[in-house]
């Protein structure tokens, strides 16, 4: 039995974010934590560059992917104190599970983390679920302390140890990154991607009035020119949130959603050469583990199917025996007693004919 579309998609994204990827992202590292559960990921993210107060910081967090992924969005939590997000609380964003109506199946873990890093650099958290307000000095101090923060679920390794080894793998793939990651800028998002902090009590259609579209376009243009990035809607105070929302891209057809969800690994990704199989020592090989999980599931189904085959063969044997008996009755009927039977001691016996 073939793996489900969700498992296929998770395997594909695991390969795209692993050390064997052709174009690794130096700004963050993300992989499943457990061999048995592909829906629970941990990530380590490099803070946005200067003049952001998070410059040089390394932040650890969790990604929870629903069983219906990628048709439904993931949820994000930060575990490292940053002064920007509450610790171990889900963040309400347009790319998170708080707003399934704005999620696009074409997006993935890499797109979401790229957007989250850009969103982190923006000011203003008023009204945002999971957001915090802190001074720039406090956030800079937390950024320095974040490098030594350790995750017990990742073998007790610190954020700095995780990213140092990840950057080494990136350099082996031809990606230029220094020892501290200070030269890693903000990565642009795909066209049509938007990100915003949203009020979980308000539906999306309340913020889509025609009067706001022109204002959105003007503000998005100036924002994009300042950053050198595609227009991305980010967190704003509640009073101006409605004036800075970027409309989402058009909804794909069901055929496009299905084809994206059922994306499978290419042969080159499945048969990586020995020099591409380097896995960071604080995570077991998630791709290999996921493959083993699928194989075990197939073997279990085959074992469950085996008794059915045995019963079917027994029924077939009984049927063949009945057919043989019927044919024997039809062509070789039983002979009635006649002169060949002779009384002998109160019984009968059949004389042998010559």
In-domain check, residue 346: no
Peptide bond before residue 70 is cis, with ω within 30 degrees of 0 = yes
Check residue 294 and give its pLDDT: 57
- Whether 106 has a pLDDT exceeding 60, the answer reads yes
DSSP-derived secondary structure letter, 99 = -
In-domain check, residue 107: yes
In-domain check, residue 103: yes
**Which helix or strand (DSSP H or E) is residue 46 part of?**
strand 40-46
Q: How many residues in total does the chain contain?
A: 354
Structure tokens at 118: 């850009």
- Considering the entire predicted model, what is its pTM? 0.59
User: Domain check: are 296 and 166 in the same one?
Assistant: no
306 or 319, greater pLDDT: 319
In-domain check, residue 60: yes
In-domain check, residue 205: yes
User: Domain check: are 248 and 289 in the same one?
Assistant: no
Pairing of strands 347-350, 157-158: unpaired
Annotated catalytic residues are 92
Residue with tokens 């031809």: 174
User: Domain check: are 39 and 92 in the same one?
Assistant: yes
In-domain check, residue 238: yes
349 forms bridges with which residues in the sheet?
342
Sign of the CA dihedral with 125 first, then 77, 88, and 204 last: positive
40 forms bridges with which residues in the sheet?
64
Instruction: Report helix, strand or coil for 219.
Output: helix
User: Domain check: are 303 and 232 in the same one?
Assistant: no
Q: What is the CATH number of the domain that holds 151?
A: 3.10.110.10
- Whether 26 has a pLDDT exceeding 80, the answer reads yes
User: Domain check: are 146 and 74 in the same one?
Assistant: yes
> Which domain covers residue 102, as residue numbers?
5-253+279-284
Closest CA to 123 of 40, 190, 197, 38: 197
309 or 166, greater pLDDT: 166
Q: How many domains does the chain have?
A: 2
In-domain check, residue 89: yes
Q: Which band of pLDDT confidence, cut at 50, 70 and 90, is reported for residue 151?
A: very high
Instruction: Report helix, strand or coil for 158.
Output: strand
DSSP-derived secondary structure letter, 199 = -
Read off the pLDDT of residues 84-98 as tens digits, 9 standing for 90 and up. Answer: 889 999 888 778 777
User: Domain check: are 301 and 214 in the same one?
Assistant: no
SS (H, E, C) 23-36: CCCCCEEEEECCCC
Closest CA to 271 of 288, 252, 254, 295: 288
Mean pLDDT over each residue of the chain, to the nearest integer: 72
- Whether 249 has a pLDDT exceeding 80, the answer reads no
How far apart CA 105 and CA 209 sit, in angstroms, is 25
Q: Mean pLDDT, to the nearest integer, of 332-344?
A: 58
- Whether 163 has a pLDDT exceeding 80, the answer reads yes
User: Domain check: are 99 and 177 in the same one?
Assistant: yes
Structure tokens at 196: 């915003």
Read off the pLDDT of residues 277-301 as tens digits, 9 standing for 90 and up. Answer: 444 555 545 555 555 665 666 676 6
Phi–psi pair at 105, nearest 5 degrees: -60, -20
Check residue 305 and give its pLDDT: 60
User: Domain check: are 16 and 142 in the same one?
Assistant: yes
Q: Mean pLDDT, to the nearest integer, of 65-93?
A: 91
- Whether 172 has a pLDDT exceeding 80, the answer reads yes
User: Domain check: are 228 and 291 in the same one?
Assistant: no
Q: What is the CA angle 241-242-248, rounded to 5? A: 100
Burial label, 254 (beta-carbon count in 10 A; 0-12, 13-18, 19+): exposed
Question: Cα–chain-centroid distance for residue 168?
Answer: 24
Check residue 77 and give its pLDDT: 93
User: Domain check: are 238 and 302 in the same one?
Assistant: no
**pLDDT > 90 in the chain, percent:** 31
Burial label, 266 (beta-carbon count in 10 A; 0-12, 13-18, 19+): exposed
Taking the CA atoms of residue 11, residue 15, residue 17 and residue 19 in that order, the dihedral angle to the nearest 10 degrees is 150
In-domain check, residue 260: no
Check residue 270 and give its pLDDT: 46
User: Domain check: are 289 and 248 in the same one?
Assistant: no
Burial label, 293 (beta-carbon count in 10 A; 0-12, 13-18, 19+): middle
Q: Which band of pLDDT confidence, cut at 50, 70 and 90, is reported for residue 204?
A: very low
With beta carbons less than 8 A apart as the criterion, state whether 265 and 15 touch: yes
User: Domain check: are 292 and 249 in the same one?
Assistant: no
Closest CA to 52 of 142, 128, 134, 140: 140
Stretch among 99-103, 125-129, 326-330 having the lowest mean pLDDT: 125-129
CB within 8 A of 221, min separation 6: which ones?
231
DSSP-derived secondary structure letter, 343 = E
Read off the pLDDT of residues 297-313 as tens digits, 9 standing for 90 and up. Answer: 667 666 766 666 678 88
Q: Mean pLDDT, to the nearest integer, of 215-226?
A: 41
How far apart CA 271 and CA 294 sit, in angstroms, is 16
């Amino acid at each position: 039995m073939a793996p489900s579309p969700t498992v296929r998609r998770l395997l594909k994204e695991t390969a795209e974010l692993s050390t064997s990827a052709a174009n690794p992202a130096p700004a963050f590292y993300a992989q499943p934590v457990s061999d048995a559960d592909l829906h629970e990921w941990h990530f380590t993210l490099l803070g946005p560059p200067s003049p952001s107060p998070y410059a040089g910081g390394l932040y650890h967090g969790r990604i929870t992917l629903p069983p219906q992924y990628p048709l439904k969005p993931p949820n994000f939590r930060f575990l490292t104190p940053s002064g920007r997000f509450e610790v171990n609380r889900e963040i309400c964003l347009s790319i998170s599970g708080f707003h399934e109506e704005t999620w696009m199946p074409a997006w993935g873990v890499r797109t979401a983390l790229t957007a989250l890093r850009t969103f982190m650099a923006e000011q203003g958290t008023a009204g945002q679920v999971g957001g915090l307000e802190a001074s720039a000095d406090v956030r800079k101090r937390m950024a320095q302390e974040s490098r030594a923060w350790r995750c017990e679920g990742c073998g007790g390794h610190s954020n700095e140890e995780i990213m140092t080894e990840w950057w080494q793998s990136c350099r082996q793939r031809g990606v230029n990154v220094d020892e501290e990651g200070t030269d890693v800028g903000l990565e642009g998002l795909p066209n049509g991607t938007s990100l915003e902090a949203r009020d979980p009590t308000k539906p999306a259609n309340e913020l889509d009035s025609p009067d706001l579209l022109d204002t959105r376009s003007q503000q998005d243009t100036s924002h994009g020119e300042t950053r050198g990035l595609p227009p991305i809607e980010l967190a704003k105070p509640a009073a101006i949130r409605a004036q800075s929302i970027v409309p989402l891209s058009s909804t794909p057809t069901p055929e496009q959603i299905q084809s994206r969800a059922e994306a499978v690994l290419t042969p080159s990704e499945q048969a990586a050469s020995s020099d591409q199989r380097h896995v960071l020592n604080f995570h077991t090989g998630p791709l290999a583990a996921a493959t083993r999980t699928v194989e075990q599931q197939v073997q279990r189904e085959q074992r469950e199917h085996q008794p059915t085959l045995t019963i079917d063969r027994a029924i077939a044997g009984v049927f063949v025996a009945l057919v043989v008996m019927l044919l024997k009755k039809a062509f070789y009927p039983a002979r009635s007693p006649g002169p060949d039977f002779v009384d002998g001691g109160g019984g009968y016996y059949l004389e042998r004919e010559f």
